[in-house]
Amino acid sequence: MSILVDKDTRLIVQGITGRDGSFHTKQMLAYGTQVVGGVTPGKGGQTTEDGLPVFNSVQEAVDATSANATVIYVPAQFAAAAVTEAAAAKIPLIVCITEGIPVLDMVEVYHAVQGAGCRLIGPNCPGVISPDKAKVGIMPGQIHKPGRVGVISRSGTLTYEIVNSLTERGIGQSTCIGVGGDPIVGSGFRDLLPLFEEDDETDAVVLIGEIGGDEEERTAEYIGEHLSKPVFAYVVGQTAPEGKRMGHAGAIVSGGAGTAASKIKAFSAVGVPVARTIDELADAVAEKFKA
């Protein structure tokens, strides 16, 4: 199996006629993802150059295509409304690639998604990929290989780095998820780790955290209490100066909280090895799982 996306995923693209939406639609189609249509208000009834129908609203798209997932490539000022519209249409999986959504807007969006019973990945994330099954987002498909190690990360670029390192060592992936780097995201580590735990084709999980907030500390506690599968970790920002924002809006250390040291200590306390480099992380996984 895989989690979140597979060959049965029926995907619509919100913002399909825009620059990013049209480009990445082609990439997802080329990978084999079942893209069934898209949404751009005011352009309903048109057809994209890929032959996909365009709808004025998400509800129209769902009614016509039976879509069960959506990916959002719209400017930040419209992205919160796009997520809320997808939740109102009860799409089970919503992936928001857009960055720069105001935090206060995300507070409202988070509760709207939760209230609708949907799952949101992102915003400010690279998306989700189950190798050789479906790609939803902007991850480079060519570096992924089917296998039995799940990958979950707050950093998009570091996701690619670790996946490439794993693939080079013959270690394939079940599903790779970029949760996003903003202070408020739809699904955190503790929301997604249970899915890997329940997946009978995932044997281990690679987790890439970063400085800022206490998500990793709380995740470590969850792992210690609930996970039976091995977890391997890497914390981005181990040399970051205190009090500085490093890359993501959520990657800021303040008042002694959210440091790399505190996260490493929390993981180590529950038996999760924390690598010092990406190569060290990949080597540790390969040593345990490579046939």
Give catalytic residue positions: 248
User: Is the four-CA dihedral 87, 107, 222, 209 of positive or negative sign?
Assistant: positive
* Residue 209: Cβ-neighbour burial (10 angstroms; 0-12, 13-18, 19+): buried
Three-state DSSP class for residue 177: strand
Interatomic CA distance for residues 29 and 256, integer angstroms: 46
Q: Which two tokens stand for residue 58?
A: 């998400």
Interatomic CA distance for residues 180 and 265, integer angstroms: 23
Query: 112-149: b or e for each residue (b if 16 or more CB lie within 10 Å)?
Result: bbeebebbbbbbbbbbbbbbbbbbbbbbebebbbebeb
